[in-house]
Structure 1
Amino acid sequence: MVGTLVLTRHGQSEWNKLNLFTGWKDPALTELGREEALTGAKRVAATGIKFDVAFTSALQRAQTTLGIQLKEIGQENIAIHKDQALNERDYGELSGLNKDDARKKWGEDQVHIWRRSYDIPPPGGESLKLTAERVWPYYHKEILPLVKQGKNVIVAAHGNSLRAMIKDIENISDDDIVGLELATGVPILYKLDSEGKVVSKEILKDEA
């Protein structure tokens, strides 16, 4: 029994455009972000997959991305589960700050550590490790069992909540996962067997 899991990072948000730390703040998608979501949706549509259920975070940029995807593939009527367990990493005191201003305040090295270390959180916020510890229980309880049953599942979420899922799916090391780049709006298609092991992985993007 092989199930399908499609993961998509939301399209560009207004705060992405302004180079701000976003985290649990809730800006909308930009027009480019909506276009990115639509482009990704067309690539999903080309696979012909019929989804059984969808998951997204409690934040509108992910929910809007999912809505654009489901409308484009004509599957708006499937069940959608929204949960803050899939929210972006909480950046704490960095939230809402311009990334250059944060570097001026705390120093470039310190901000780099907060952004790219696995287990050192910014003040009042989450590290990737803490984000993963929030995401994994939800993934293992709500999402993975469906895929293991052969269901087709689509998830629209955020860079770091998706990194947490991918770390678990692919058994990626702490050091390697922090360097994993996820393009906005580009879906990743996994086929998983009944034990949750990866059968295949495909990044749905235009060939260079």
Structure 2
Amino acid sequence: MPEHRLFLLRHGEGAWNKENRFCSWVDQKLSEDGVKEAQECGRLLKEMGCQFDMVFTSILSRSVQTAWQVLEVMGLEWVPVVKSWRLNERHYGALIGLNRAEMALNHGEERVKLWRRSYDVTPPPIDESHPFFTEIYNDRRYNSCDIPKENLPRAESLKDVLDRLLPYWDNIIAPEIKRGKTVLLSAHGNSCRALLKHLEGISDSDIAGVTLPTGVPILLELDGDLRPVKPRQLLGDQAKIQAAIKKVEDQGKAKPGGK
């Protein structure tokens, strides 16, 4: 029997999700559809009788806004929300702001898939000439990180995401779950994938096949050592979930003009 339940949630659709651009550490609000996704997620969880004791988010607005919308719909606005850069989306380096489909057209679908889905391939790093470098690294939200701002990443593989996430999981989140608290982690596609890889023991090659749609809650039932006792459950209408997964996977396919 499971001793603990953990809910993972990739934020609702952001403006750049809609435009099929690598968003990464650029701060984007939820789109109108993204707000609806988060609210629908909250309604689903409320109907299931879920209750949360703590919520963890990244320090990017789309992650935080998603948590707010879910909690408001559930009538749980009072639940503590704890934010950390260690739950941020993967840093896509020089790819930030680029259209995935146009990149696939120019560099090939396999190369883009490696950049997006592989475990240990790192995209080209961002540098000071990049149009979004200043917006990211002059943002004062990173002044309060637990490492010096100059040591923040310039690009990350999924392995790098897991490496910076694990200390936060081990030292901050996991102890709360072991104390009996039910936790919602409202984060990003890659920070959630990295944590799933760790918890479920997914191989370096198989993680490439794990795709998470926006706004779909994932239930993990865990034992006392926080290991899954049954397969993860993507909650909601399964036909819609599969269609949403295919939509995410198709983002990296070559389409002239990125349309």
Bucket of the pairwise TM-score, normalised by the shorter protein: over 0.9
Written as runs of structure 1 = structure 2, the 5 A alignment for 1:106-117 is: 106-117=107-118
Query: Is it true that 1:53 corresponds to 2:54 in the alignment?
Result: yes
Query: Relative to structure 1, is the Cα distance of residues 180 and 109 closer, same or farther in structure 2, using a 3 angstrom cutoff?
Result: closer
Aligned residue type for 1:93? A
Aligned residue type for 2:206? D
Q: Quote the residue 2:245 is aligned against.
A: none
Q: Quote the residue 1:144 is aligned against.
A: 174
Runs of 4 or more above 3 Å deviation: 103-109
* Structure 2 runs not aligned, ≥5 long: 126-154, 240-259
Q: Quote the residue 1:44 is aligned against.
A: 45
Query: Is it true that 1:160 corresponds to 2:227 in the alignment?
Result: no
Q: Deviations over 1:30-64 (max 9, x none)?
A: 11111111111111112222211110001001111
Which moves more between the two structures, 120-129 or 142-151?
Answer: 142-151
How far apart in 1 are the matches of 2:98 and 2:35? 23
Q: Quote the residue 1:202 is aligned against.
A: 233
Alignment partner of 1:7: what SS? strand
Q: Quote the residue 1:99 is aligned against.
A: 100
Query: Is it true that 1:178 corresponds to 2:208 in the alignment?
Result: yes
Query: Is it true that 1:80 corresponds to 2:81 in the alignment?
Result: yes
TM-score, structure 1 normalization: 0.94
How far apart in 1 are the matches of 2:173 and 2:167? 10
Q: Deviations over 1:108-157 (max 9, x none)?
A: 44323212221010011111111111111111111112112221011100
Q: Quote the residue 1:135 is aligned against.
A: 165
Larger Rg: 2
Q: Quote the residue 1:68 is aligned against.
A: 69
Aligned residue type for 1:205? G
How far apart in 2 are the matches of 1:197 and 1:23? 29
Aligned residue type for 2:237? D
Q: Is the 8 A contact 1:4 1:150 kept in 2?
A: no
How far apart in 2 are the matches of 1:111 and 1:3? 37
More strand by share: 1
* Structure 1 runs not aligned, ≥5 long: none
Q: Is the 8 A contact 1:191 1:199 kept in 2?
A: yes
Alignment partner of 1:163: what SS? helix
TM-score, structure 2 normalization: 0.76
Q: Is the 8 A contact 1:150 1:194 kept in 2?
A: no
Q: 1:207 Cα deviation (Å)?
A: 4.4
Alignment partner of 1:205: what SS? coil
User: RMSD over aligned Cα, in angstroms?
Assistant: 1.6
How far apart in 2 are the matches of 1:202 and 1:114? 27
